[in-house]
Amino acid sequence: MSSDLRDLYQEVILDHSKKPRNFHAMPDPDRKAEGYNPLCGDRETVFLDLEGEVLKDVSFQGAGCAISTASASMMTESVKGKTRAEADALFERFHDLITGKPEAAGSPDLGKLTVFSGVREYPVRVKCATLPWHTLKAALDGEGAPVSTESEGPAAESGGA
Amino acid sequence: MSTAVREAAVAYDVARIRRDFPILATEVYGKPLVYLDNAASAQKPLAVIDAERDVYEKCYANIHRGVHWLSVHATDAYDAAREKTRRFMNAREAHEILFLRGTTEAVNLVAQTYGRAHVGAGDEILITGLEHHSNIVPWQMLCEEKGARLSVVPLDETGDIDLDVLERMLTPRTKLVSVAHLSNALGTILPVKRIAALAHARGIPVLVDGAQAIPRMPVDVQDLDCDFYAFSSHKIYGPTGVGVLYGKTALLEAMPPWQGGGDMIRSVTFEKTTFNALPYKFEAGTPNIAGGIAFGAALDYVSAIGLDRIAAHEHDLLAYATGKVSAIDGLTIIGTAREKAGVLSFVLDGVHPHDIGTVLDREGIAIRTGHHCAQPVMDRYGLPATARASFGLYNTRGEVDALVAAIHKVIGMFR
């Protein structure tokens, strides 16, 4: 693998994409939401159990590329046990990381999620990494409609053949 | 025949052809560009690039308007491109060639003029399961407006249709048949001549979406006997923003105009407007003049090589590539119809097409990944997406080898 591809597909990412964690449906979730990326056809459903403001349990299901699957898997691990506000702040910091924005003051520690920093060199793949986070947000907000990555930036696949 | 011409007729000199396309010398991440996304859009030869620049440098003015020298010359060049198009697809008359923005606009024009005039509540429009969104959505919009129904001839496992099934789906309510000549997602060639014969036996007109076929096989609209044939310049090595709708004179004459404006009128008063003759009735406003002229240069370019020779070259590449990738463990070709051209869609066990695309890109190889604007085709196979390599007249067996090596690299990474 060339060195820059390794920046994107880090070992941890490949590991999570092949063996995603918390990869199952919840029989009776407090919240769930579906996310869709029309660029690559990825679909992911995020399931949530809440205890007050705390994300007691998070899982996901679906089919996606290595980046979106690994992102979903690592997201579920990172946000479990956090409050809604903490999860929101984590997404904001994560989004800044993968779009190459500088760290804002008082940002939370991303921990293992920093392995996604390579995504910033692949702008067309940003949506893959953010799909599960947008879906989690929709689940938290209790939005019924499926979320689409196309709210983020220009449509990646609107025409051509 | 001179010796040079005779030699050219024998050898397909791909190295020489490649030198006509400046972009093919590009390096991507330090590697030579391997451009295998021709079904999305083809690259442009110098002859086309020069032709467009020449218009702006030497003979640009608005057409069909001025008495001045520049306007006359620009008009002549634009009209010449229309005549080249007529000859290229063997239409009877140059006025049967409408210059539009592309295939999409051509299909929409037929839907909004012929369609709105002839399709009513309870009527049917027949398409197939392999259509591009641009040959689905305009008909859905029309059906929605008129209370008509869209019938879809199903695809078999290979990505082909059964003509007997198509024939049975032609009913007394069928008002139009609209089919692709060549599938952009699967590479299937549809027998449009036989489809036209079946439809005509019932008095139903046929539109052929030729976007993918036009750069890949000789097209003779009189032989096919289709009523409409639509395609885009950019897929046949010409500029973007130019497209063609061929229509039989009688149909075009009877159709109401579409967009109103300049050039499409004969006389205008506030009480009444009389419309211009064909083709101008359907060409309101100033067109893409330089693009249209350069499109003519693209037709000259491919005609000089010969569509039959291009078809043979691409057939060889597709057969070679099909053999090579079939041998790759865990790779499945999507679209295995008996008659195919130019397009090789595939999926890899355990690897998402998007990841294939990213890894290949870093090897300098441009392919398309996604649903190829043919989501119903993807649904037919239960896939979110495929990876697609599509060939052009300048591709080589060496590039196919590079593709195969890169796929092995992908497998090494993700398995």
The reported pLDDT for the residue numbered B200 is 98
The answer to whether A116 touches A90, Cβ cutoff 8 Å, is no
pLDDT at B390 over 80: yes
Q: How far is B352 from chain A (nearest CA, A)?
A: 5
Q: Closest-CA residue in chain A for B132?
A: A161
Determine contact: A8 vs chain B, CB below 8 A. yes
Model confidence pLDDT, tens digit, residues B354-363: 999 999 999 9
C-beta atoms of A40 and B373 within 8 A: no
Question: Cβ–Cβ of A2/B362 closer than 8 Å?
Answer: yes
How many contacts does A have with B, using Cβ atoms within 8 A?
76
CB proximity list for A10: less than 8 A, separation 6 or greater: A115, A118
At residue A156, the pLDDT reads 38
Residue A64 distance to chain B (closest CA, Å): 7
Query: How many Cβ atoms from other residues are within 10 Å of residue A84's Cβ?
Result: 16
Average of pLDDT values for A107-126?
A: 92
Contact B413 A1 (CB under 8 A): yes
Chain B residue numbers with beta carbons less than 8 Å from the beta carbon of A63 are 352, 384
Neighboring chain B residues of A42 at a CB cutoff of 8 Å:
352, 354, 384
SS3 A27: coil
Q: How high is the pLDDT of residue B121?
A: 98
> Could you report the per-residue pLDDT of B294-303, keeping only the tens digit for each?
999 999 999 9
**Domains in chain A, CATH or no CATH each:** 3-142 (3.90.1010.10)
Residue from the list A63, A64, A161 with its beta carbon closest to the beta carbon of B211: A161
CB atoms within 10 A of CB B22: 12
Residue B137: CB atoms within 10 Å: 16
What would be the CATH architecture of the domain defined by B3-44+306-414? Alpha-Beta Complex (3.90)
Q: Do A39 and B354 count as a contact with CB atoms less than 8 A apart?
A: yes
Q: Active site includes B373?
A: yes
8 Å CB contact of A41 and B378: yes
Q: How far apart are CA A160 and CA B42, in angstroms?
A: 11
Predicted pLDDT of residue B181: 98
What was the pLDDT predicted at A113?
95
Query: Could you tell me the two tokens for A38?
Result: 């029309």
Assess: ipTM above 0.90: no
Q: What is the mean pLDDT of residues B3-29?
A: 83
Q: What is the pLDDT of residues A128-159, one digit of tens each?
A: 999 999 999 999 998 656 677 665 543 333 34
C-beta separation of B52 from B239 below 8 A: yes
CATH 1.10.357.140 at B50-304, yes or no: no
Residue A66 to residue B353, Cβ atoms within 8 A: no
Question: Cβ contact (<8 Å) for A40 and B372?
Answer: no
Question: Band of the pLDDT at B345, cuts 50, 70, 90?
Answer: very high
Among B29, B372, B409, whose Cβ lies nearest the Cβ of A161?
B372
For residue B415, the tally of other CB atoms under 10 A from its CB is 12
Which residues in chain B are contacts of A38 at CB distance < 8 A? 371
Cβ neighbours of A119 in B, within 8 Å:
none
Report d(CA B340, CA B188) in Å as an integer.
5
Domain ranges of chain B: 3-44+306-414, 50-304
pLDDT at A107: 82
